[in-house]
Structure 1
Amino acid sequence: MIAALNGAFDDISKAMRLHRVWIALAHEDIGDQHRRTTLGPLWMLVNYFAFVGTFAFVFVTKDAGNPSYIAYVAIGMLVWFYLTETITMSVSLFQREASFIQGTTLPLFVYVMRLTMQCIIRAGYSLAGCVLILLLGGYGINTNWLVSMLGLLLIVLATPAFVMVFAFLGAFFPDSEFIVGNLMRVGMFFTPVFWVYSGQEGVQKYAYRWNPFTYFLEGVREPITAGIFPIQALAVTGYVCLGLWALALLLLGLYRKRIVFLI
């Protein structure tokens, strides 16, 4: 166990010294995805506005009359899109990077950080759109935004762990790419992204209280929309982050040298 953890930390340390490599690769990925398009990466901002508008004005719920509902949906979509993209893209990470993994001696964590940085860059466009919606909705910048940023920071810190866990899952079980993708699509409706929990019983109660993604969303959203310090949400997010990192380090330490035989 100790040897595995030492190996994981050594791999991470080497990868962090190569930060210019994975940052450059991530920027190249974003550029390649939008090459020859008119708007370029701004399409990510357009997509974000389109989804927020759809769920706020088309799929109208009984909560739509609340003045804070658009902000509720905007922040919910920001966090959910980030988590969904991170998780679904992670499952096939090692398969996509197979040629590099088999042909170079780069630390495995370089590929983890390449995807992490790519997801952060993409989320930056959605974040800009979310901030614009909040400002237009009358949510002036105040100390509550700092608490919300703390929730975002915890999610960002958990991202490399998410990537590693699901990347190894995809390497061991190739079918998991489709299973995870479908679960995340369905999971959006079991997570309070656009619906508001107001003490309802039944499925909504359990979907709200026992869904870990609820706390990722509320840790970012509650400080701004409700003006409260989300102690429970931040605590649960922190515990999930620690648990993910413990599992990720163990997987990295045990299987980083064997992954080449699994892809």
Structure 2
Amino acid sequence: MENSTTQMMCHLSQLIDDAPGPIYAKVKQAICRQIDTGEWQPDQRVPSESEMVKALKVSRMTINRALRELTDEGVLIRQQGVGTFVARKKSHSALFEVHNIADEIASRGHRHHAELVEITLAKATMEEAMNLGVRTNHRIFRATIIHFENDLPIQIEYRVVNAELAPDYDQQDFQHNGAYHYLMKVAPMTEGEHLVEAVLASPAECALLQIDASEPCLQIKRRTWCREQLVTNARLISPGSRFQLFGHFEQ
């Protein structure tokens, strides 16, 4: 057991880099990486706080915060007096599928076009790295795109793309949805997840969407995978009066 714990901590410490950022967040990212790659299996006991403090040479407060937040997020399970374990992944029933917005608009007999507001090639921040399951300073694209239906803005798309998986993303025809087709070609989606919230758009977003500041909007946070690799992380903002979600399910 001691050898197993030592090996776990050795691998974990190798994933923590020297890039700027909170230490607790780096510990969280390293633990998630071990779980995502299958190094740490569901129901497996993880090293204790004391073992992590000693091996990683960080404060107990740092380790406690990392483990506490991962427990709150459902990544780990802490059993009083027993230890901390890797949680089993929960099964979810999809309320709706990931659709191409251009196809949705076309199905209504309307015209779609998009405008690329900005695209940059950069190094991932701590938050972006955690959302894409990569290291900080990993090469990513950041893009802001406005989608139109019959010349009326219907959605702002903020997208972060793993540049290693889609190296020519910034060379695509964003106006005619070429970027979507390019991603489906080089890294076809095998899995996706959504988080849907009601929000108010920022003043800049209201200007882009041509709406009043008081109009409620629908925000979708979406991540997509190609097999075991995260390809994109996107945040989509749409006016509530112009956009709706539909899902069909049976029991």
The TM tier, using the shorter chain, reads under 0.3
Given the two structures, how large is their TM-score scaled by the length of structure 1?
0.23
Q: Look at both structures and tell me which one has the larger radius of gyration over its CA atoms.
A: 2
For normalisation by structure 2, the TM-score amounts to 0.23
Q: Which structure dedicates a bigger proportion of its chain to strand?
A: 2
Which structure's relative contact order is higher, taking Cα pairs within 8 Å and 6+ residues apart?
1
Structure (1/2) with the larger helix percentage: 1
